[in-house]
């Protein structure tokens, strides 16, 4: 199994890139509707912030895992890193439709990212989380949730880069 340090490094790398990309945008650009329609950069950031609330699940009820703790990692990575497919977000983590304040977004993301890093460093990643079950996948271990957070963030970084590249007012 991967070391906690390797996972922290992977999560730090993607979360740092996320914060760098969002920070590079003015408040106006952060909230601009992209040429391709869909979410603004700010909405992508808020969607990730909402999804990082999984930290509550990671700190919630768990049980000993009766299967390989990384069993679902490859399937998660294959799905989320296929940028050709369009996915529909669960309603619970949809971003709002109105203006997203840049400072709030960046501060809030940093706080959740720090909470997730603490889980990776201090919790048993082989345990199965019981508070949230994904219908198509079933229960995830903390290790699988960590990989989910990494590839979910990578997926949205890909989106952000496309928005920035195609936005005529981008400051990136």
DSSP symbols for the chain: ---HHHHHHHHHHHHHHHHHHHHTS-HHHHTSPPTT-S--HHHHHHHHHHHGGGHHHHTS-EE--SS-TTTTHHHHHHHHT-TTS-----GGGPPPSS---HHHHHHHHHHHHHHHHHHHHHS-TTSEE-S--BTTTB--BHHHHHHHHHHHHHHHHHHHHHHHHH-TT---
Closest among 26, 45, 49 to 157, alpha carbons compared:
45
* Distance separating alpha carbons of residues 79 and 57, to the nearest angstrom: 22
pLDDT of residue 168: 60
Q: Is the pLDDT of residue 102 over 60?
A: yes
pLDDT of residue 166: 80
Q: Is the pLDDT of residue 169 over 80?
A: no
Domains in the chain with CATH codes: 4-166 (1.20.120.450)
Q: Is the pLDDT of residue 120 over 70?
A: yes
Average pLDDT, integer, range 28-33? 94
Would you say 127 and 142 are in contact if contact means Cβ atoms under 8 Å apart? Answer: yes
* Distance separating alpha carbons of residues 41 and 156, to the nearest angstrom: 9
pLDDT tens for residues 52-73? 999 999 999 999 999 999 999 9
Average pLDDT, integer, range 15-38? 92
* This prediction's pTM: 0.93
Average pLDDT, integer, range 24-53? 93
pLDDT of residue 171: 44
Q: Is the pLDDT of residue 106 over 80?
A: yes
């Amino acid at each position: 199994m991967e070391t906690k340090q390797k996972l922290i490094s992977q999560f730090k790398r993607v979360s740092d890139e996320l914060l760098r990309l969002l920070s590079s945008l003015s408040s106006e650009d952060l909230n601009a509707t992209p040429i391709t329609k869909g979410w603004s950069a700010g909405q992508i950031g808020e969607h990730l912030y909402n999804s990082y609330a999984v930290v509550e699940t990671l700190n919630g009820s768990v049980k000993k895992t009766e299967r390989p703790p990384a069993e679902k990692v490859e399937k998660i990575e294959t799905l989320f890193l296929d940028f050709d497919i369009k996915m529909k977000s669960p309603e619970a983590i949809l971003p709002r439709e109105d203006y997203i304040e840049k400072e709030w977004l960046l501060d809030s993301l940093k706080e959740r990212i720090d909470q997730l890093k603490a889980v990776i460093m201090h919790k048993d990643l082989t345990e199965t989380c019981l508070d949230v079950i994904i219908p198509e996948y079933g229960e995830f271990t903390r290790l699988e949730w960590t990989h989910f957070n990494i590839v979910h963030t990578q997926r949205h970084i890909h989106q952000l880069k496309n928005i920035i590249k195609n936005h005529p007012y981008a400051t990136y």
